[in-house]
Amino acid sequence: MPKQAVLLFAGQGAQKVGMGKDLAEAYPAVRAMLEQADAAIGYPLSQIMFEGPMEELTKTSRCQPALYTHGLALLEVLKSKVPDLEFTATAGLSLGEFTAHAAAGTFDFATGLNLVFQRGSFMEEACETTRGAMLAMIGGEETAIRELAAECDVDVANLNAPGQIVLSGSVEEIEAAAAKSKDKGIKRAIPLPVAGAYHSRLMKGAQDKLAIALEAATIVSPAVPVVCNFEARTVIRPEEIRATLTAQVTGSVRWVESMQHLIAEGHTLFIELGPDATLAGLMGKIDKSVKVISIKDTATLDAAVAELLA
């Protein structure tokens, strides 16, 4: 009986200089994907992935297509090595939701690449025209953090794991939230090294432009369930996929509920595809009863293949 697994894809922040280099050297199919990405985008994405510098790779317009391409390259090799592995659902954190849709067949590689390149560019433009920041709240109660967000007029950007919630808003309001965090029983308030206020109302300009791009893109119902961040549920119809991918730009990433939804559906094995093991770490805080295999490079790929074939 073939093994069944849910695919999880990394979000922005997981990028690392050198990502994909060993895969491209080992697998012609990965080299071909990277060459296709370079040609489609019109700049040497693969060179930035392999050599950096990190400041360039971290740019939203570079980072998003890099993570998208890397995740799908890992999947391509995994499928070739474990052909009877059955993918029963997909999900991705923020940007990773686009990779999840490509993996599920909602759109092809080229269409998704164009969408994430535009998404990253639109968000980069929004960062340049607003003074935004993000703040990770560690160890606080969700109710208290939501109260703080309302008092300081900032948005809840990410609900990543129990005790790990991220706020997003203007620099001044985020600083005010940090100053008041102890009063709300929050253990630590950590400013994040990001260019702007992602998943907040300050991304409205990017959201409006992405909506137009999504409307023009060819989108079909996925072959397997895809769980969306914005509503933490499975989306099937093309119109609801467009709507939730658009809403996600300014809306909260409800990662905890998304994973709980999948676990409630009976999924017990998850495979994370991305440059680090962030999603496995989050799952350890959400539900320790399920298993997550993280695949980042050729070494972890070989180990995962051995485990899946055992």
What percent of the chain lies above the pLDDT cut of 90? 97
Assign 193 a pLDDT band (cuts: 50, 70, 90): confident
Provide mean pLDDT across the span 159-171: 97
Provide mean pLDDT across the span 136-143: 95
Mean per-residue pLDDT over the chain, rounded: 96
Assign 20 a pLDDT band (cuts: 50, 70, 90): very high
Four-way CATH pick for 131-191: 3.30.70.250, 3.90.220.20, 3.40.50.970, 3.40.50.300: 3.30.70.250
Provide mean pLDDT across the span 174-189: 96
94 a catalytic residue: yes
Our measurement of the distance from residue 49's CA atom to the centroid of its chain's CA atoms, rounded to an integer in Å, reads 17
Domain residue spans in the chain?
5-128+201-309, 131-191
Assign 131 a pLDDT band (cuts: 50, 70, 90): very high
Residue 53, preceding peptide bond in cis (omega within 30° of 0): yes
Assign 308 a pLDDT band (cuts: 50, 70, 90): very high
Provide mean pLDDT across the span 56-85: 96
- At 177 the pLDDT is 97
Query: Alpha-carbon distance 190 to 174, whole Å?
Result: 11
Say if residue 259 is exposed, middle or buried (CB neighbours under 10 Å; 0-12, 13-18, 19+): buried
Contact 12, 95 (CB under 8 A): yes
252 a catalytic residue: no
How far the first Cα of the chain sits from its last, in Å, is 12
Provide mean pLDDT across the span 172-201: 95
- At 11 the pLDDT is 94
- At 1 the pLDDT is 54
Provide mean pLDDT across the span 288-302: 97
Single out the catalytic residue among 61, 94, 168, 294: 94
Type of residue found at 59: K
Query: Alpha-carbon distance 203 to 128, whole Å?
Result: 11
Q: Is the pLDDT of residue 287 over 70?
A: yes
- At 58 the pLDDT is 92
Assign 310 a pLDDT band (cuts: 50, 70, 90): confident
Single out the catalytic residue among 199, 200, 252, 294: 199
Q: Is the pLDDT of residue 178 over 80?
A: yes
Distances (CA, A) of 269 to 71, 94, 225, 299: 18, 21, 15, 20
The tokens describing 44, both together, are 């040497």
Regarding predicted confidence, which is higher, 193 or 158? 158
- At 289 the pLDDT is 96
Q: Is the pLDDT of residue 198 over 90?
A: yes
CATH number for the domain running over 5-128+201-309: 3.40.366.10
